[in-house]
Amino acid sequence: MLIEKLADIYHISDDTFANMMTCLNEALINAMKHGNKMDPDKKVIINAEAGSKRIIWTITDEGPGFDYVHLADPTSPENLENLTGRGVFIMKHLADQCIFNTSGNEVELHFKI
């Protein structure tokens, strides 16, 4: 698996590895489910750019994107019992940087190593 290879090559800590796995899982689920609407003809593209101090993961789907600025706060009382709606929140808190493109169909997840 690419993530494990990079973790070995760049001596990524267990905490950073766990954060990357969690964020990538959330990003991929969002891309497949919300972006591509589970359409088997649409692709999700994953790119890793690794250096001595940082790994940047880019996840792109073929959907129209979404408004990532005006998302419901999953920590507000009315949303605490919702079963969904936490993916972007999780990515923003576990990655060192979480950057969406203008349309919202691509996310960059930055991790310091």
pLDDT tens per residue, the chain (113 residues)?
Answer: 788 999 999 999 999 999 999 999 999 999 999 999 999 999 999 999 999 899 999 999 999 999 999 999 999 999 989 878 899 999 999 999 999 999 999 999 999 99
Distance CA 54, CA 89 (A): 21
The total number of structural domains that make up the chain = 1
| Domain span at 57 | 2-112
Q: Where are the alpha helices (DSSP H) in the chain?
A: 2-9, 14-30, 87-94
Q: Both ends of the chain: CA-CA distance in Å?
A: 18
**Which pTM value belongs to this model?**
0.93
Give the domain CATH number at 83: 3.30.565.10
Residues with Cβ within 8 Å of 22's Cβ and at least 6 positions away in sequence, in order, are 90, 94
